[in-house]
């Protein structure tokens, strides 16, 4: 797995390591220990602060910016499908680069939750696992796409193996969809959790793509088993 270094300087949106005063959150009446811990982590997370300052809908935007900085995934004029897009950080990042409406650029996003507004993107509010979702996405993108990216994650159960199996189900569905919709030379980017089965997906991808890597961008929390599979050069 490729661990990215994130050497970019402080105050750069790709690595906002600015100094922050630590905020402690006490548990109170109805606030549970776990929700207090979540709140404390959010308040002390420099990516959360930087996302708010720069107007990104989520801290996840930095993961994509870092992966793009390292791997040069996106270009103006591309057609991109964003699976599991809410609240919309990734959608914002690709719209900034692709510039929908200019030179054929188009971004289509899907989630069963609401996307915070990203005016340049086409949003489909739907479960990607719904039988009608693939066709709706194809119609919206108008043919084939340069990049299929999936940050889809089911709500976690806390049971590591179950969470791993559920996310791998989504990753495999995303990959099947990518095989139908990607243009030759295209890119598939997908969130997985470490746990064993991601190696099977990696082996499948190696047959269809010229280059396949596992990456963990610096903005992906070190204590999370989350990582990303990046497959480049779809053989078509
Ligand atoms: C980690 S969040 C994505 C964050 C997003 N990339 C961003 O930058 O804001 C994962 C998303 O996957 C969505 N998701 C999970 N399963 C899905 C499914 N079957 N269909 C559509 N969206 C799904 C969830 O609703 C959630 O919004």
Find out whether 46 and 62 touch, Cβ atoms under 8 Å. Answer: no
Question: Which residue, by CA, sits nearest to atom 25 of ligand 1?
Answer: 113
Distance 127 CA to ligand 1 centre (A): 10
CB distance 190 to ligand 1 below 6 Å: no
Q: Is residue 109 domain-shared with residue 31, that is, in the same domain?
A: no
Residues 109 and 173 in one domain: yes
Q: Is 58 within 8 Å of 49 (Cβ atoms)?
A: no
Residue 59 near residue 219, CB atoms below 8 Å: yes
pLDDT number for residue 6: 45
Which is the closest atom of ligand 1 to the Cα of 127?
20
Whether pTM exceeds 0.85: yes
151/41 same-domain check? no
Q: Please tell me the predicted confidence (pLDDT) of residue 9.
A: 31
**For position 12, what pLDDT does the model report?**
52
Note the pLDDT of residue 23.
66
Count H helices, E strands: the chain?
A: 7, 8
Q: What is the 110 CA–ligand 1 centroid distance (Å)?
A: 8
Block residue for tokens 């900034």 = 96
**Which CATH number fits the domain that encloses residue 94?**
3.40.50.150
Query: Is 191 tagged catalytic?
Result: yes
d(CA 96, CA 79): 13
Nearest Cα to 190, choosing from 63, 51, 42?
Answer: 63
What pairing do the DSSP bridges indicate for beta strands 226-234 and 2-3?
unpaired
Q: Pairing state of beta strands 122-125 and 106-111?
A: parallel
137 C-beta closer than 6 A to ligand 1: no
Active-site residue, selected from the candidate residues 144, 191, 211, 213: 191
- Closest residue by Cα to atom 13, ligand 1, is 84
Query: What is the pLDDT at residue 3?
Result: 61
Is there a single domain that holds both residue 124 and residue 16? Answer: no
CA distance linking residue 188 with residue 147, whole number of Å: 6
Give the pLDDT confidence score for residue 197 in this predicted structure.
72
**Within its chain, how far is the Cα of 231 from the centroid?**
14
Tens-digit pLDDT profile for residues 80-94: 999 999 999 999 999
Instruction: Write down the residue that tokens 């797995």 correspond to.
Output: 1
pLDDT at 17: 54
Report which secondary-structure segment, H or E, holds 217. none
| pLDDT at residue 15 in the model | 56
Q: 127 CB under 6 A from ligand 1? A: yes
Last residue of a domain, one of 54, 71, 96: 54
Low-confidence ranges of the chain (pLDDT < 50): 6-11, 13, 19
Predicted pLDDT of residue 225: 86
Question: Is the Cβ atom of 93 under 6 angstroms away from ligand 1?
Answer: no
What domain range includes position 38?
A: 2-54
What distance in Å separates the CA atoms of residue 234 and residue 4, rounded to the nearest whole number? Answer: 23
């Amino acid at each position: 797995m490729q661990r990215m270094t994130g050497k970019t300087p402080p105050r750069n949106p790709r690595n906002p390591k600015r100094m922050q005063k630590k905020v402690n959150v006490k548990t109170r009446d109805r606030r549970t220990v776990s929700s207090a811990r979540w709140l404390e982590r959010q308040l002390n997370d420099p990516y959360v602060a930087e996302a708010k300052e720069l107007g990104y809908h989520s801290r996840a935007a930095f993961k994509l910016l870092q992966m793009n900085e390292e791997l040069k995934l996106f270009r103006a004029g591309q057609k991109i499908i964003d699976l599991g897009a809410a609240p919309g950080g990734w959608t914002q990042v690709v719209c900034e680069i692709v510039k929908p409406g200019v030179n054929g650029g188009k971004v289509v996003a899907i989630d069963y939750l609401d996307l915070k507004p990203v005016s340049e993107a086409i949003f489909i509010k739907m479960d990607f696992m719904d039988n009608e979702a693939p066709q709706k996405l194809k119609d919206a993108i108008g043919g084939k796409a340069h990049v299929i990216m999936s940050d889809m994650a089911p709500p976690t159960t806390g049971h590591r193996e179950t969470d791993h199996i559920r996310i791998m189900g989504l990753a495999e569905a995303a990959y099947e969809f990518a095989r139908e919709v990607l243009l030759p030379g295209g890119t598939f980017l997908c969130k997985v959790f470490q746990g064993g089965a991601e190696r099977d997906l990696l082996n499948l991808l190696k047959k269809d793509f010229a280059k396949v890597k596992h990456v963990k961008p610096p903005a992906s929390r070190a204590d999370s088993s989350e990582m990303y599979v990046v497959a480049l050069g779809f053989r078509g």
